[in-house]
Structure 1
Amino acid sequence: MPYEVRTVIETEFTLADQNWSEDVFFAPHVYTAAGEELSCQQIKENSTIAHDWRKRIVFTAKLNPLGITRFTVRVTEEKKKLQERNKVASFKEIRSVQSLLEDPVIPELYDDTSDPWGMSEEELKSLGKHPVVFCAMSGGESRAFCAVDQDLYPFREIERGPICRIFESLHTAGKSNMAVQYKVYKDLPFMDLKVTLEFMDKNKLVRLKTPVPAEFTDGKPVGDGPYVWEQKPKGETVFQKWFGLQNSDGRIFSVINDGIYAGKAEKGFLSLTLIRGAGYCMHPIPGRELYPQDRYLPRIDCGRYEYNLRLFVGNAALVCREAELFYQRPYALNVFPAGGTFEAATKNIVLEGDVILSAAKPCEEGYMFRIYNPSDFEAAFQLKVGNAVMQDTAKAREIVTVIGGSEGLRSDHNDLHDSRRKKIV
């Protein structure tokens, strides 16, 4: 991002050697480049090896604009502590530490058709019917689903530390199963959800219903697209990075996603359409059989899927900016610099103001920048490239093109309402 951001960072690293001790483990500590220690939490690593070697950590930090921010991880030897597993929890514990969710999300399984285009008149109005709620798994179902040797509580706390608490719930409906993880942060203005779906139903559809806070239940549905956010129609609609409800004061309760493009707002919920068990190229023709009934024909989307969501409240500019950060998460690389000094590959680029840098690329005159103002009001901004500084104002919903480099910058305003050209050095 072309501005400083404070966000949560997850990364993994490997100890220099394997620790086989039964008595001690190596606790990670994170430090900034200035030597300040940051609060850090170790969580379950993606791999599963039963000794102390691979580490996954989560911490909150500020990141430099369009550049590299260095952190150092050191470990200290500590005595092992007995970890409580399969800890029963209730949603009241989530409700007590955040205000974005009053109740848990509700996954639902719908009857659907095998037509992947949904071309019938009924489907053009709404996909799916006869919803069945995914039930909380019983002890036996959870044991079989997770392939463990004990029954699991349907709602458990699986991680707890100074950065976040992670809760997990297990659900089942039809032939499909789902695990939902709620990640609640201690001092960040958002909440993350990780939904893992093992989908094995044919001619079915899965939606995830997210309850909205009371102040947004009468809001209008809104969502984004390329260089636009807009009010959405009732019923099934499409969007790109986020979907939400906007109340009368302009604030939006949004569900930011990393690959879900359809959903609808209904009766105090934002329902995201996750997947359909439709057939491959099963094209309906009136009066004819949709597909042969004498053989096996696969459905195109059966399998395991992972959906990552972020719940966030803010005005349009803040929601769009948070969605950009969620979509373009910073890389956390476990590298060991050789030391010494090196010339920067690019000029120092910093953007200030309630606008979004949607594109930046080299051109004959240096760089070309696309600066987008997603709000309904004018937004003043300042762009710095090396020693050149430009101040300008983007009108509501306007895309401003800025061209130049450290020798000077100029902006082009080419919206439909006003065409003007300004050169600023």
Structure 2
Amino acid sequence: MECEFCLPDQCSDGTFTDVTVLGNGKPIASQIEQQHSNLALDWRKRIVFKTRLKPGSVSRFDCTLKVLNRKPAITRRPRNGFYIFKNDILDVRVNAATGLVDRYAVAGVNYLTQGAFCPLVLRDNEDPWEVSATAFGPVAGRFRLMDKTKGSRFSGLKNTIESVRVIEDGDVRTVIEAVLAYKESFICQRYALPKQGSEVMVETRVLWNQKNSMLKLELPLAINAKRYLGHTAFGVQTLPMNGTEAVAQKWVCAADDANGLGLTCINDGIYGSDWCGNSIRPSLLRAPAYSAHPVGNAPTCPPDRFSPRIDQGEHIFRFWINAGNIDQRLRAVSAEAQVKNERPYALSFFPKGDGSQPKPVVVLDNQAIELSCLKRAQNDDGWVFRLFNTTDCKQSLRLRLPIAGVRSTCRFGRYEIKTFRLNSDGVLSEVNLLEEEAPDACIYHNTMAGKS
């Protein structure tokens, strides 16, 4: 979780106010990171903390303040040419000479080989529909780490610093930043490495100025994956592994079934990728012209003037990489992706604490079952919610509706969707996708499930 707030008063005497986050009155892992503003004052604070939120509820966290003589310095430095990061389960190496990841290992198993997360530039054309091909390429070039002078100038600095550097380091995570360039385009890439767990966040901020080019990230795999899977609407699709451009929604997965291993990659807004060699290559940007449909041998764009291009300028992409047992990854990744794409709101607010907290509407106890919809019923009589089994295995679920006092055990087939309606009398019934109740529908009252 991340949240910003202002101290009661601003301070410019060189002191630094440290913040401890309390959950239920006890300190939890937290750290202060650079706020989104650039005021040279000890005033605005950005807090990053790790917690588990209660379902369907507002969770309160309190902050205590302590004034230090100065801001703590970041001491993490490269060793033998690498930024080496380890926690109880994770081992990551960021190459200080390239700005790329040369090792991503979970529980002793390496999943990515040298040069991971390299931004690739592929040859492309003016056609925004790309009517003549089903794949992009070949590779025209790669983004490279800028030298200190160019990297510092790109970063807007008056002084000169290394182009790979640690910018945050605390009890929650270490953040490493690298600045790269390719011809007229630039990238600031950040790796957020967790002090607990194995999920690494990669943020790629692109300033894209190329023409007739496509931008991809390259994730070269160290495992022997034979299946490439992608999230789709209420299901999982097997994707091609022959270089054809593929479409998926919130995540993709490389599955090494023979060894029981899998690597998942969650995104926050892209949908294209391909599998080339033994690499996952998410598609980020193109640079075609607007409505530039090829017609015979005629020039696609006017040869005597400037033609605006799509995708130019600044873009930010975020990816979350995780790996481990393939069955556990596939069971968890849809819920993880939903959290990333439907992030909880964090508000700086000071409630009195009076009154009683409302009960949550729906509580699920199975991570593989996704709450995909919660809305008013079409007939305005109560609420409708839809549950989906995100796996290809049968699943069971203990469903609780605290607001209505209803509890039930539900069973799902592989990739099954179930829709329920809670009416204004507190009675829960199973309905179809059109919110129609079948004659033999299950009716759940404010006890354990019963069929009437």
- TM-score w.r.t. length of structure 2: 0.84
Specify the SS of the correspondent of 1:183.
Answer: strand
Q: Which residue is equivalent to 2:393? A: 377
Counterparts of 1:36 and 1:317, CA distance in 2? 31
Offset at residue 293 of structure 1 (A)? 0.5
Q: Which residue is equivalent to 1:396? A: 414
Offset at residue 82 of structure 1 (A)? 5.8
Q: Which residue is equivalent to 1:283? A: 293
Counterparts of 2:47 and 2:357, CA distance in 1? 31
Q: Which residue is equivalent to 2:227? A: 220
- Residues 221 and 245 of structure 1 are in contact (CA less than 8 Å); yes or no, is this contact kept in structure 2? yes
- Residues 376 and 383 of structure 2 are in contact (CA less than 8 Å); yes or no, is this contact kept in structure 1? yes
Q: Which residue is equivalent to 1:4? A: none
Q: Which residue is equivalent to 1:3? A: none
Offset at residue 172 of structure 1 (A)? 0.8
Q: Which residue is equivalent to 2:365? A: 352
Asked if 1:47 corresponds to 2:37, the answer is: yes
CA RMSD of aligned residues (A): 2.3
The aligned length equals 406
Match of 2:238 among 218, 231, 246: 231
Match of 1:316 among 313, 327, 330: 330
- Residues 390 and 409 of structure 1 are in contact (CA less than 8 Å); yes or no, is this contact kept in structure 2? no
Offset at residue 88 of structure 1 (A)? 5.0
- Judged with a 3 Å threshold, the aligned counterparts in structure 2 of structure 1 residues 343 and 145 are, in CA distance, closer, same or farther, namely closer
Counterparts of 2:217 and 2:238, CA distance in 1? 21
Give 1:70-219 correspondences, 5 Å limit. Answer: 70-81=60-71, 83-84=73-74, 88=78, 90-94=81-85, 97-98=90-91, 99=105, 101-103=112-114, 104-120=116-132, 124-212=133-221, 214-215=222-223, 217-219=224-226
Match of 2:4 among 12, 32, 48: 12
Q: Which residue is equivalent to 2:102? A: none
Q: Which residue is equivalent to 2:430? A: 411
Offset at residue 348 of structure 1 (A)? 3.9
The amino acid across from 2:42 in the alignment is D
Q: Which residue is equivalent to 1:35? A: 25
Counterparts of 1:186 and 1:41, CA distance in 2? 11
Offset at residue 290 of structure 1 (A)? 0.7
The amino acid across from 1:352 in the alignment is D
The amino acid across from 2:411 in the alignment is T
- TM-score w.r.t. length of structure 1: 0.89
Counterparts of 1:95 and 1:106, CA distance in 2? 22
Offset at residue 308 of structure 1 (A)? 0.8
Match of 1:326 among 321, 327, 340: 340
Residue by residue over 1:304-331, the C-alpha shift from the partner in whole angstroms, topping out at 9 and shown as x without a partner, is: 1100110123432311111101111111
- Residues 264 and 329 of structure 2 are in contact (CA less than 8 Å); yes or no, is this contact kept in structure 1? no
Structure 2 gaps of 5+ residues are: 92-104, 107-111, 446-452
Specify the SS of the correspondent of 1:207.
Answer: strand
Q: Which residue is equivalent to 1:243? A: 252
Counterparts of 1:139 and 1:257, CA distance in 2? 30
Counterparts of 1:298 and 1:84, CA distance in 2? 44
Specify the SS of the correspondent of 2:254.
Answer: strand
Offset at residue 176 of structure 1 (A)? 0.5
Offset at residue 211 of structure 1 (A)? 2.7
The amino acid across from 2:20 in the alignment is H
Residue by residue over 1:150-194, the C-alpha shift from the partner in whole angstroms, topping out at 9 and shown as x without a partner, is: 333232211111111111111111210111100000113311011
Offset at residue 91 of structure 1 (A)? 4.3
- Judged with a 3 Å threshold, the aligned counterparts in structure 2 of structure 1 residues 94 and 194 are, in CA distance, closer, same or farther, namely same
Structure 1 gaps of 5+ residues are: 1-8
- Residues 389 and 409 of structure 1 are in contact (CA less than 8 Å); yes or no, is this contact kept in structure 2? no
Specify the SS of the correspondent of 1:62.
Answer: coil
- Judged with a 3 Å threshold, the aligned counterparts in structure 2 of structure 1 residues 311 and 269 are, in CA distance, closer, same or farther, namely same
Specify the SS of the correspondent of 2:336.
Answer: helix
Offset at residue 84 of structure 1 (A)? 4.8
Residue by residue over 1:9-35, the C-alpha shift from the partner in whole angstroms, topping out at 9 and shown as x without a partner, is: 11111111101122x221111111x21
- Residues 196 and 305 of structure 1 are in contact (CA less than 8 Å); yes or no, is this contact kept in structure 2? yes
Counterparts of 2:161 and 2:236, CA distance in 1? 42
Offset at residue 75 of structure 1 (A)? 0.8
- Judged with a 3 Å threshold, the aligned counterparts in structure 2 of structure 1 residues 117 and 94 are, in CA distance, closer, same or farther, namely farther
Asked if 1:25 corresponds to 2:16, the answer is: yes
- Residues 119 and 216 of structure 2 are in contact (CA less than 8 Å); yes or no, is this contact kept in structure 1? yes
